[in-house]
């Protein structure tokens, strides 16, 4: 979206369907300076009741809990760019749908494949004002190394680098406890894209 009016409109649509939605800040990290521009990454837990009809279908009155990550660029006391991802799969699951069923429902509501919004690709990305790549903090570098090794199918890194009592929160509202469940998530994700090339474009450690 470009411009704040579309963002405001989308927020109003969400609040109409989930009028009691709350955003609970779980953690935030950042890099940069106020003078040169700052990039903050917010991890959020949202709670809401599906109280009214909307893009998720007829109101079910089910209580939901899902995660959001929002990356914001700020300079001169103003946020001028935001990248946000919401765990739609977790919402769909709690409403009794699979991710595929929700996607098909949304395509149908938009008038079919010919009229629905095309999936996001780099070709339609709008280049924003932020050009940074994060920082060189040791914790960010260490986590990048772990992810690179996982994406290279070096799953032995998980018991080496993850605490035995670790809890992972992953897409689709999945909670993974300890090494075997964390391994299962990453193995499943990596095997879904066997020919994909993994790149880290941005990294913050604090």
Domain boundaries, the chain: 4-124, 138-192
Calculate the alpha carbon distances from 134 to 112, 138, 141 in Å: 40, 12, 11
- Which burial class, exposed, middle or buried, applies to 39 when counting CB atoms under 10 A from its CB (0-12, 13-18, 19+)? buried
Task: Give the separation between CA 180 and CA 187, rounded to whole angstroms.
Answer: 10
CA of 187: how far to CAs of 136, 152, 162, 180, 194, in Å?
Answer: 28, 11, 15, 10, 10
SS3 133: coil
CATH code of domain 4-124: 3.10.450.50
Instruction: Tell me the angle at which helices 178-192 and 138-151 cross, rounded to the nearest 10 degrees.
Output: 60
- pLDDT for res 34: 84
Judged by DSSP in three states, 158 sits in helix
Q: Which residue has the tokens 């995660």?
A: 67
Full-model pTM: 0.89
Contacts 24+ apart (CB under 8 A), 77-80: 77/34, 80/128, 80/129
Per-residue pLDDT of the chain (206 residues; tens, 9 = 90+): 677 777 777 788 888 999 999 999 999 999 998 888 999 999 999 999 999 998 899 999 999 999 999 999 999 889 999 999 999 999 999 999 999 999 999 899 889 999 988 888 888 888 888 888 999 999 999 999 999 999 999 999 999 999 999 999 999 999 999 999 999 999 999 999 999 999 999 999 99
């Amino acid at each position: 979206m470009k411009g704040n009016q579309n963002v405001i409109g989308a927020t109003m649509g969400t609040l109409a369907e989930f009028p009691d939605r709350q955003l609970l800040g779980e953690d935030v990290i950042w890099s940069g300076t106020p003078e040169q521009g700052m990039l903050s990454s917010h991890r959020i837990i949202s709670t809401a009741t599906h109280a009214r009809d909307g893009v998720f279908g007829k109101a079910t009155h089910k209580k939901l809990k899902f995660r959001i990550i929002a990356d914001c660029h700020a300079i001169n006391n103003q946020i001028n760019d935001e990248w946000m991802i919401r765990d739609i799969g977790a919402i769909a699951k709690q409403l009794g749908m699979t991710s595929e069923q929700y996607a098909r429902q949304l395509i149908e509501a938009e008038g079919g494949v010919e009229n629905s919004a095309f999936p996001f690709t780099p070709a339609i990305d709008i280049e924003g004002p932020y050009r940074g790549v994060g920082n060189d903090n040791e914790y960010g570098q260490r986590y990048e190394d772990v992810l690179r090794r996982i994406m290279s199918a070096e799953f032995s890194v998980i018991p080496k680098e993850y605490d035995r009592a670790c809890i992972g929160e992953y897409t689709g509202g999945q909670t993974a406890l300890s090494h075997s469940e964390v391994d299962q998530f990453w193995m499943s994700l990596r095997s879904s894209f066997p020919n994909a090339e993994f790149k880290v474009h941005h990294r913050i450690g604090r």
